[in-house]
Amino acid sequence: MLLFCGVASAQTKTLDVTVTNDWKEDKVDEPVVVKLPDAKKLGFEVKSATVKCKGKEVPCQLDDMDGDFLPDEVFFLTDIKDKDTKTFEVKLSAKEEKKGKEVEPRIYTALQLKDKSDKHPEVLRVEAPGKSYLYNDIFMHGVVVESELVGYRIYFDDRQIVDLYGKKSSKIELPVTQFQTFREQLSEGYGLDVLWVGEAIGCGTFKDWKKGKPENWTEVGVRGQRVVTTGPLRTVVELYDLGVRGEDDLLYDMHQYYSLYAGHRDLKVDVSFNPTMGKKPFEKKLFCTGVQKVGAAADEATRKGHKSQGYVKKDGLAASWGCDYPDMGKREQWEPEAVGLAVYMPKDYISDTKEDDLNYLFVVQPDKEASLHYFISFCADKEEKGYHTAKEWFASLDDWKDNVSHPVRVKVE
């Protein structure tokens, strides 16, 4: 009996996690990431995790971030008051323990293939030579992620555009509309693709910067997309370009990670590089991102009273507001859509700010660890509980910037 108790104890471990909000405002659905000890250090493989706060179970997910089939993180969301601290118990177990209640998915993720039978099989990774054109072979043209508030997709091609799905009400919709909303679905209250990007930067698309302008990712050996986590509270997807050719004999790999949380409209983007050749320090290499000028070329009737306006500031905010057709090839089918776009880029990465005919841009440099991060957000005028004017949208962005700049502090004991 004593031996049995000893074995059981060795197969579980409880972590005391303290979460502190140092910011001046309350936080809702704030992401909390608990890094797990190495399996060898723990002495067992973690098969399940349970999070509790004051004895009440908190929905969580256990994520394998590096694809080695072992969990690396426990993720959960919490509401926390300003200047407050909350304590959680995170129990790790070698058994696949049943939860008290199944967590309702608040996130959707899909990477699917096109096939003749229209079954659209789901895959976890797509990888191809850089010169291969798979855009039309990927269902929805690339990986898609969705929260209750918004949806995004990232094209599988050299543009790697971040495309936007706006909604009328808060619910998961992409399993139904698949980013190709029909008029009948629109009349039933579903959302749709709300932005035509064309040759612009879109909303937060990460581009190369060459000869004073944004450039697509054309000179790559291999490009790929990978689903890292699928929810129910957080999704993370990876874009990677291997063997990227740059100026001055530069050769490097690039990995972009896009994280979307339940209850959020914003995407966190983490970009890391692995330079293997080059005549200059890699931190001097320039890239760019930003927001496009929505409706800049539209006529007054198309704009529907929404003036095309925006800005890019050296404090790290770029934003725009405007109205235009979401699909230029199908103007007879769709009404113009008004949207607000935003990117927050931490100042340490900003080399310069630019404005051209299509975009408000940040020219950026990675840090000495060859990495950078930034945030993307947008709203659609069609939202019942969203922002409906440029004034409202722009007024919300300083608080958003401050919020994401001050994540909660997590201490694990």
Query: What tokens were used for 274?
Result: 């692995």
Q: Please answer whether residues 393 and 1 qualify as being in contact, where contact means their C-beta atoms are separated by less than 8 angstroms.
A: no
Residues in a beta bridge with 59: none
pLDDT digits (tens, 9 = 90+) for 384-394: 999 999 999 99
Q: Residue 273 pLDDT more than 70?
A: yes
Q: What is the pTM of this model?
A: 0.95
- Cβ neighbors of 379 (< 8 A, separation 6 or more) are 166, 265, 339, 340, 386, 387, 393
pLDDT band at 371 (very low <50, low <70, confident <90, very high): very high
Segments making up each domain of the chain, as ranges? 2-97, 107-404
pLDDT digits (tens, 9 = 90+) for 307-366: 999 999 999 999 999 999 998 878 878 899 999 999 999 999 999 999 999 999 999 999
Distance separating alpha carbons of residues 73 and 64, to the nearest angstrom: 7
User: Whole-angstrom distance between the N-terminal and C-terminal Cα of the chain?
Assistant: 29
Residue 173 identity (one-letter amino acid):
E
pLDDT band at 99 (very low <50, low <70, confident <90, very high): low
Distance separating alpha carbons of residues 381 and 392, to the nearest angstrom: 11
pLDDT of residue 360: 98
Token match 């925006």: residue? 310
pLDDT of residue 332: 78
Query: What tokens were used for 207?
Result: 């581009």
pLDDT band at 8 (very low <50, low <70, confident <90, very high): very low
Alpha carbon dihedral 65, 201, 141, 177, in 10-degree steps, equals 90
Query: What tokens were used for 308?
Result: 């095309």
Query: What tokens were used for 117?
Result: 């039978």
Query: What tokens were used for 321?
Result: 């507001």
Kindly report the average pLDDT of the chain as a whole number: 93
Do the domains 107-404 and 2-97 match in fold?
no
CATH classification for the domain delimited by 107-404, as one of 2.160.20, 1.25.10, 3.30.70, 2.70.98:
2.70.98
Indicate the CATH number for domain 2-97: 2.60.40.1180
pLDDT of residue 100: 59
